Structure formats: structure tokens, C-alpha cells
């Protein structure tokens, strides 16, 4: 590769012109001919046996040229970018200026580059920190959940009440005709859970095991099945069994059975401490976000669309991976949501734009303050990841990109730097006002 020129254009674009050596190009064309030439038919020759000169005469002199250029391009382009000392982002736009086995190839490439960032103030920033304290109601709610998990299901002899679990058969009818998807047997339903359409669960309350009865409902106008939306229906119900949950007493025995503590007070304190730690993290994160927003607001940069496009593509791929883990393809998900890929991808634009701006701003702070991730920082993060996922540290090192990891750690240190040089004023969070009676 020989870099001919590099010109910086407006809007964070650059134009590179470079050449590919004639010998390298000639060898690659011959290589393409040997692998692809067998696809072409020339009269008078068995398929795959025609000489290259006749194939080129019949199908065009450049029949193997562009495959050869495509094969050579990635490595040659990477070398040109390195020689030009630019940080290219996004896909390049390539023009073939000339190509011959005698003179080699000359390419012109336009590509978006990482913009120059002019950073504003990032020290001495003012921010208000709202400090939250665990409410007693939070502790009580957690204890209630513990009680419910430890509850025993008991058979109710009388009429079903809200909160009870009923075992029912049901079948739905519209104008006397059963509709698809409206039938089930021995369905376990918690009354009052809101699992079914409005009115369904309420009409089971008051009935006892062994009864058969009708439930009259109207499907919501926005119901997903269009043929049922907004229309009345009758469900025939057979109630097999009614159960209720018997909660254990809230005492030391419950603490022993459901935790590592011997007394209820110790258990309560552990719940309070755990919730307070979460609140503290949320409060700290809110401060970090407010400070970073100020830094981004003071930043000046001509950010190319290619950076946003790249981030959106990454977010789409991440989402696709998550839904596939749940056994659903992205195409089927989009059909279910009634979205096109273009609409779905565009929905990530605001988030992608914000994330790109934040990263550029924090990278600029790290560069200005010579903040880097040390080997000790990397070792500590590798250990943290290994502990979290119960993996060998050597395996983690094989899986992660150490250069990207160092950049991420440097950005985290830049956030810490901004925080440590900010004026943080704390104020207590206001307790929720009691509900009016």
C-alpha cells in the first residue's frame, strides 16, 4: 500500500487516496481466476477448462478485477488509515480510479472520522444530590413478600375471595359460537391479579368449588385480537377448587427459615441495609448523570451520522441477541409489534445519539487529564468479571478485547475525576405525602 494523499473534509469526513502494488494485485487476480474461473462457460471448452484470456474476452476484461480488489481491500484500507493517522468510523465509500496488472490499483475512499472535540468546563461543576433513605414501608413490603413465598396453600370451603387461587375450566363464546383461544382446563387463576380482561375475575368472587356459571364480559377496544376487540362475550366457568394462602407469622422463626439470621430484627436490618445500598447507588448514579449531562452540553463537535448509525446497529444486534435467547427471532418480534426494521432501528436514534455524545465528551476529559487505565485497573476488572460469572481469569482475558476494556475503564475514571472535582450539595428526599382519606 502506498498512501498518495489524505484530505480532511467538512463535517468530520476524510478522503484518502492510496494504491495497491501491481505485483500483489496481479497475484490476487490470478488467484481469483483459479477459484472462480470454473464457473464460466466458453464454447469449445469443458466448463472450468477455458483459458483466462478467453473468459476475459467473452465476459469482460475486468471479470476478475473487482473480486481481487475486494479481497485485497480490507488489509490495504486498514494500512492506509493507519498511515494517514485518522480514526475512521462507519463504512467507507470507495471509488476505483484505475486498475491494471501493470500499474496496480488506485482507490479513492471517503470515510467519516472521529471528530475533533472541544470540551467545555468539567471541573467545579455544581450539582444537587437528593439523598434517599429507606422507608419503613419498604422493609414491611419486603417482609410481606417473604411471608407470601413461605405461605401454605389451604383449601377454602366457602365462597372465593379476592386473592384466592381458583382452579377453573372456561370456554368463551361470542353470539353463541366458541372462539379460538378462549378455552382452557384446570387453569390456575389468582383472583384480583388482573390477569384476565376487566370483569372476569370479579364475577368469580363469591362462587364456591363445584359450581358452574357464566361470566359476561366485554373485550377492551384495544384488545390484540381484532375480531374480539370491543365485543361482548360469555365465558362458561366450572370451578373445581378454591385455595387461599395462609401466611406464616412474622417472627423469629420466619427469619430463621427464610434467611441466615436468627431473629426478625436482624433480618429486618439486613433488608434495610440492602435497600439502602441500592438507594445510595441510585443517588450516586443520578449525580454522575447530571454532571455528565453538563459536560456534554458544553462540548462542541461535528459528529458524523456514521457514528450514530454504528451505535444504532450495535443496539439492534444486542436486542436481537436477547430476544433470540428467549426463543424468538427479531423478524417475528417485529411482526408481533407491527414494526418495520427501519422503524425499529430509528427508535434507537435518541439513545444512540446520547451515548455517542457522552463517550466523546468523556474521552476528551480523559485525554485532557492524561487519564489512562493502569495494568492494575485491568487486572482488577478481569478479576471482577471472573468472579461475577464464575470463570477463570485466563478465560476472561481470551474473551474480552483488552484495548476496548482499557478505554472503558479510562472513561469510568474520567467520571470519577469529574465527580471528585464537582461541588455536590446534598438534600434529603421528601417523603411521599400520605394519601388523602
| Tens of pLDDT, residues 49-63 | 788 888 888 888 888
Query: Is residue 383 located within the same domain as residue 236?
Result: no
pLDDT of residue 44: 79
Exposure b/e, 97-111, CB count within 10 A at least 16 = b: eebebeebbbbbbeb
Confidence of residue 432 (pLDDT cuts 50, 70, 90): low
Query: Is residue 413 located within the same domain as residue 298?
Result: yes
CA distances, 133 to each of 45, 98, 280, 286, 344 (Å): 86, 70, 8, 15, 39
CATH number at residue 43: 3.30.70.1050
pTM of this structure: 0.76
Query: Is residue 295 located within the same domain as residue 190?
Result: no
- For the segment 6-25, the average pLDDT, to the nearest whole number, is 93
Residue where a domain stops, chosen among 246, 278, 298: 246
Q: 142 pLDDT exceeds 60?
A: yes
**Domain of residue 233, residue span:** 152-246
Residue where a domain stops, chosen among 183, 213, 246: 246
Query: Is residue 28 located within the same domain as residue 164?
Result: no
CA distances, 29 to each of 38, 164, 187, 435 (Å): 14, 76, 68, 79
Which residues, 6+ apart, have CB-to-CB distance to 407 below 8 Å? 363, 373
Is 121 part of any domain?
A: no
pLDDT tens for residues 316-348?
Answer: 999 999 999 988 899 998 988 888 999 999 999
pLDDT of residue 437: 38
Query: Is residue 188 located within the same domain as residue 76?
Result: no
Query: Is residue 268 located within the same domain as residue 298?
Result: yes
Q: Which three three-digit cell numbers place residue 298?
A: 458544553
CA distances, 187 to each of 31, 153, 209, 217 (Å): 66, 16, 14, 18
| Closest listed residue to residue 163, CA positions, set 175, 148, 176 | 148
Q: How many domains does the chain have?
A: 3
Query: Is residue 319 located within the same domain as residue 365?
Result: yes
CATH number at residue 216: 3.10.50.40
Q: Which three three-digit cell numbers place residue 334?
A: 417485529
Query: Is residue 284 located within the same domain as residue 424?
Result: yes
Residue where a domain stops, chosen among 246, 273, 294: 246
Query: Is residue 21 located within the same domain as residue 40?
Result: yes
Is 160 part of any domain?
A: yes
Query: Is residue 80 located within the same domain as residue 6?
Result: yes
The segment with the largest mean pLDDT, out of 8-12, 45-49, 300-304, is 300-304
Amino acid at each position: 500500500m502506498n498512501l498518495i494523499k489524505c484530505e480532511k473534509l467538512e463535517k468530520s469526513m476524510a478522503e484518502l487516496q492510496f494504491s495497491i502494488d501491481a505485483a500483489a494485485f496481479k497475484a490476487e487476480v490470478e488467484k481469483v481466476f483459479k477459484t472462480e474461473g470454473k464457473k464460466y462457460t466458453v464454447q469449445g471448452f469443458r466448463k472450468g477448462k477455458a483459458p483466462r484470456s478467453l473468459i476475459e474476452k467473452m465476459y469482460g476484461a475486468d471479470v476478475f478485477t473487482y473480486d481481487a480488489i475486494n479481497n485485497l481491500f480490507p488489509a490495504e484500507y486498514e494500512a492506509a488509515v493507519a498511515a494517514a493517522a485518522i480514526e475512521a468510523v462507519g463504512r467507507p465509500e470507495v471509488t476505483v480510479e484505475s486498475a491494471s496488472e501493470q500499474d496496480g490499483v488506485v482507490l479513492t475512499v471517503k470515510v467519516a472520522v472521529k471528530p475533533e472535540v472541544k470540551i467545555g468546563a468539567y471541573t467545579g461543576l455544581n450539582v444537587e444530590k437528593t439523598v434517599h433513605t429507606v422507608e419503613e414501608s419498604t422493609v414491611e413490603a419486603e417482609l410481606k413478600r417473604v411471608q407470601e413465598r413461605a405461605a401454605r396453600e389451604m383449601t377454602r370451603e366457602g365462597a372465593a375471595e379476592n386473592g384466592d387461587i381458583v382452579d377453573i375450566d372456561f370456554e368463551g363464546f361470542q353470539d353463541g359460537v366458541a372462539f379460538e383461544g378462549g378455552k382452557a382446563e384446570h387453569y390456575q387463576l389468582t383472583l384480583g391479579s388482573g390477569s384476565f380482561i376487566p370483569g372476569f375475575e370479579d364475577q368469580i368472587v363469591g362462587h364456591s368449588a363445584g359450581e358452574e356459571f357464566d361470566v359476561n364480559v366485554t373485550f377492551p377496544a384495544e384488545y390484540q385480537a381484532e375480531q374480539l376487540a370491543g365485543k361482548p362475550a360469555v365465558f362458561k366457568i366450572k370451578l373445581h377448587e378454591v385455595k387461599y394462602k395462609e401466611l406464616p407469622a412474622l417472627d423469629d422463626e420466619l427469619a430463621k427459615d427464610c434467611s441466615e439470621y436468627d431473629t426478625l430484627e436482624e433480618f429486618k436490618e439486613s433488608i434495610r441495609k440492602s435497600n439502602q445500598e441500592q438507594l445510595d447507588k441510585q443517588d450516586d448514579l443520578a449525580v454522575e448523570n447530571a454532571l455528565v449531562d453538563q459536560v456534554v452540553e458544553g462540548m462542541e463537535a461535528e459528529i458524523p451520522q456514521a457514528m450514530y448509525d454504528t451505535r444504532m446497529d450495535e443496539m439492534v444486534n444486542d436486542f436481537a441477541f436477547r430476544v433470540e435467547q428467549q426463543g424468538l427471532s427479531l423478524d417475528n418480534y417485529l411482526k408481533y409489534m407491527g414494526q418495520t426494521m427501519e422503524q425499529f432501528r430509528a427508535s434507537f436514534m435518541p439513545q444512540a445519539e446520547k451515548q455517542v455524545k457522552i463517550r466523546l465528551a468523556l474521552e476528551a476529559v480523559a485525554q485532557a487529564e492524561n487519564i489512562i487505565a493502569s495494568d492494575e485497573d485491568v487486572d482488577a476488572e478481569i478479576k471482577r468479571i471472573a468472579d461475577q460469572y464464575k470463570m477463570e481469569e485466563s478465560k476472561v482475558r481470551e474473551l474480552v478485547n483488552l484495548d476496548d476494556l482499557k478505554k472503558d475503564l479510562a472513561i469510568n475514571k474520567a467520571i470519577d475525576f469529574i465527580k471528585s472535582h464537582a461541588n455536590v450539595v446534598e438534600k434529603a428526599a421528601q417523603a411521599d405525602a400520605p394519601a388523602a382519606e
